Amino acid sequence: MRTFSYIKTVLLSGVLAVTGTIAAHAADLTVGANIGNVPWEFQDESGKTVGFEVDLVTEIAKRLNKSVEFVNIPFNGLFSAVQSGRINMAVSSITITDKRLESVSFAQPYYDSDQSLTVTAASGITGLGGMSGKVVGVDTGSTGDVWATANTAKYSLGEIRRFEGLQPAMLDLVAGRVDGYISDIPALQYYVKGKPELKVVERIPTGEKYSIMFNKGDPLVAQVNEVITKLKGEGFIAKLHETWFGAKPEDTTSTVKVAEMPTAK
């Protein structure tokens, strides 16, 4: 991850963030993020906040000549935090949806994704067909949560158990308290590398596109959108993809192609 002397990365508890308690000397841009969302924003072994979206937002702030601080907020709290103005923007592999566009704004997307099912290797589960009557974990308010709720009857899913991020969900998966975990496929593929006891067994096509979220109509979204266009043209975001996923993105994806700023239909 690139670092810049003027950048401040500040980790506050989710409770403090949601109540709007910000550091006394706030940065120009306050960014909400669900820290622990690998590989998008998480803490490395030294406790430093790193990740694809951390690098991206840091570079955007540099191009806007602004300082930035990251505030740790549970995923479901990001929406009210950005709408109330407690934060300027939010990241955490947030999917652009028509429903969300009714109340918030997004810059153009920079990553295409799907959901996925992850299980323990010892479970013998090979896909969604094996989840009948089983306990499934999801992140509260996420696309995975929406998908699991909508498809409970189709796959005869048992209880849906909701978590605030990947780490606690994985702890319960390994401990046998949930039978499968549905979440973003890039995060899960990254997480299970080098962990033979865990397997991503099925991709769940959802056609998701990730972007940075803002309060509805915030002028900042257009400024950030313009920077993202430049970063795509320079190959900066494609380089981030190589750094965090170990492969070049396809030319047809949102990581490379410049897109329109999304609007509600």
pTM as predicted: 0.80
Kindly report, residue by residue over 93-148, the tens digit of the pLDDT: 999 999 999 999 999 999 999 999 999 999 999 999 999 999 999 999 999 999 99
**β-bridge pairing 180-184 and 68-72:** unpaired
Domain-ending residue, one of 177, 207, 237: 207
CATH code of the domain in which 59 resides: 3.40.190.10
Domain region containing 186: 114-207
Residues 182 and 222 in one domain: no
Extract long-range pairs of 215-224: CB within 8 Å, 24+ residues apart.
Answer: 215/82, 215/83, 215/85, 215/104, 215/105, 216/83, 216/103, 216/104, 216/105, 217/105, 218/88, 218/105, 220/88, 220/89, 221/105, 221/106, 221/107, 221/261, 222/261, 223/64, 224/60, 224/64, 224/89, 224/107
Question: Looking at the structure, do residues 98 and 168 belong to the same domain, yes or no?
Answer: no
pLDDT digits (tens, 9 = 90+) for 160-196: 999 998 999 999 999 999 999 999 999 998 899 889 9
- Number of domains the chain is built from: 2
136: in domain: yes
* DSSP states of 202-241: EEEEEEEEEEEEEETT-THHHHHHHHHHHHHHHTHHHHHH
Residue 104 belongs to a domain: yes
Residues 51 and 135 in one domain: no
Which of 207, 230, 253 is the last residue before a domain boundary?
207
Task: Judge if 41 and 66 occupy the same domain.
Answer: yes
Residues 66 and 120 in one domain: no
With respect to residue 252, please indicate whether it lies within any of the assigned structural domains.
Answer: no
Based on the domain organization, do 201 and 215 belong to the same domain? Answer: no
Same domain for 216 and 189: no
Residue 259 in any domain: the answer is no
Q: Tell whether 89 is covered by a domain.
A: yes
231 and 160 together in one domain: no
Residues 80 and 197 in one domain: no
pLDDT in tens, 2-30: 433 334 444 444 434 444 444 445 799 99
